Structure 1
Amino acid sequence: MEHTTFESTEERTFQYQNSLPPLPVPPLNESLKKYLDAVKPFLNKEEYQRTFEIVKKFEHGIGKELHHKLLERAKVKKNWLEEWWLNSAYLDARTPSQLSVNVAGSAPYLEHYWASKEGTQLERGAIAVWHTLHFWDLLRRERYVVDKVRGTPLDMNQLRMLFSTCKVPGVTRDSITNYFRTESEGDCPSHVVAMCRGHIFAFDAVHDGHILTPPEIHRQLAYIKKRCHNESNGPGVAALTTKERTQWAKIREYLINLDPNNFSILETIQSSLFVISLDDASPDGTPEDYSMISLLTLTGDPTIRWGDKSYNFLTFSNGTFGSNSDTNAIYFTHEQLK
């Protein structure tokens, strides 16, 4: 795989990050006009007039002072909004992540050359994992092409959060751990975690500096699946990531205090490139209807989805795929692996 559609030989993926312009602060009057335009269809004449007067009072009163403070903040922060949005809309949320925060859905392969077929889970899964690992390798070597709009580079920093990233529950606020490093920055984890029937496994996806081949990945997955199908179901610790965030944080602390080795296990999961979920489900799916696959990616077996990971790759028993991803990696789509 020496050359791909998304590989760049002239530009480095993150080379423009420091030269990107700061996030501008929109003029106050422009923001207020957009607000009035947005509410107008829902108000009668009297209600709109009253709203208009409130907005004008705000614009020439406290709004002016608040806007000045926002401009001052923008002088010292390249992105004045990012920290507020990350904390208030994301890390402070106490609702369970997998249903209220995560994004999930089917992979766009059904309408192409792979029709669903029982018994193809491991073969197709191994190939898809191999492609995903090469995508990681492009980022690690900073050879993924820079996204641009009419020649203007876009912010690529979100791609750093795709691999080896995990949200860690906190009692009042969660945090994000990110272990990804480019080659120029230093060492980076290279292991993946596989989950099957409530059991958790880990294996290194790189050997002697080379990514495992599809047959080598298949061998790992086949061993995991055979062992899990010959044993009783595991404890399904991953299901804890579906709980309310404060509850999950307290349970996590309990597990760590129970046995110091549990912290090492959690760290292995958190730092893994991504999670491979070997799902026994066999969803019906056609090019016209992805509903069942999408439903299962969100609400399927919670014991094999680590809801806090930036990317859970789901491979179902009939060879169809899906993903369940923490929204911190919302940039990523399966289409980028094709």
Structure 2
Amino acid sequence: MVNEDESTYFKGRGAQFNPHNKFLKDAYVKEHDEGIDDWEESDHKTTFLFENSKTIVNKVDSPDVGMDYSLNPYQGCEHGCTYCYARNAHQYWGYSAGLDFERKIIVKKDAPILFKKFLEKKGWDATTISLSGNTDCYQPAERKFRLTRQLLEIALEYKQPIGMITKNSLILRDIDILQEMAKLNLIMVYSSINSLNDKLRLAMEPRTATAKQRLKVVEELSKAGIPMGVMVAPLVPGLSDHEIPTVLKAVANAGAIRAGYTIVRLNGAIAQIFEDWLRKNFPDRFDKVWHMIQSCHGGNVNDSRFGDRMRGDGNIAKMIRDSFRLHCRLNGINTKDIFLDRSQFKIPTDQMSLF
């Protein structure tokens, strides 16, 4: 791993620039140093922006992401994963998918109130809700704002089934609530582990928990009776796909019973961000990796076709698929399906009295 110019590389950030927001007509750019007295990008600290949302639970129309509804208490994510598909959504808020996504975090402070209102809608059938479907609900902001914990408390109170995915070990803080939900078959947790190489992790996902910490999450939650899965995602051909056997063996030993994967796809502004990151961190492997990604998406780095976009097609995609299936079988993963129980859902009596 070689960075060509350390002086211009923002350590601790995945994106290294702000690509233009396609929804904005004007762009704020730096022409020359002496022309601006106070250039905002000289300060790369994270800032929190508070948003009063109208809704908090979203229906997911995509048939290949494994969820029907998503619940996102934060927008933007300080984890800084270079490949994150959620980056593009930051443009809807008037920001860039690049550095803005990592350092301008939108906090939906009214998320708990909105969640209760959603659950109390007439006809709600307690379909499993995924926390989160967009950015990580246990990103560093959660340590301060504790919105995810409040949402879990509400889910337990209403007996609402929840699916979770995170790459942050902060989830262990809430093991008490998760254990109570597991006793009622209301929770399934996935940890995201796409590499055991911490040097790669530090470059590609700079503010996430180490692989060792994520394996600890799988082990401790499994021992607490909480069903655990792992998303080996996204796999980057030429960088991390060769780790499939070791990752699956490690997560199985830690207690994971389910696993899934995706192949990286670089849609929208993410293509610019990832290309810049790959050139700066792996200049000697850039052409090989870039062409391997293209080979999985019909000659492009992105494929929007349902059914193909998450797993890719072509010879390399097939080799990845075959390897993943083989090592899941060898490690006893995906032999048991998990079905959460929505029959227990009930609006608490004290809430009913408000109507």
Q: Which of the five TM-score ranges fits, normalised by the shorter chain? A: under 0.3
- TM-score normalised according to structure 2 size: 0.24
- TM-score normalised according to structure 1 size: 0.25
Work out which structure has the larger RCO, using CA pairs closer than 8 Å and 6 or more positions apart in sequence: 1
Larger radius of gyration between Structure 1 and Structure 2: 1
Higher helix share: 1
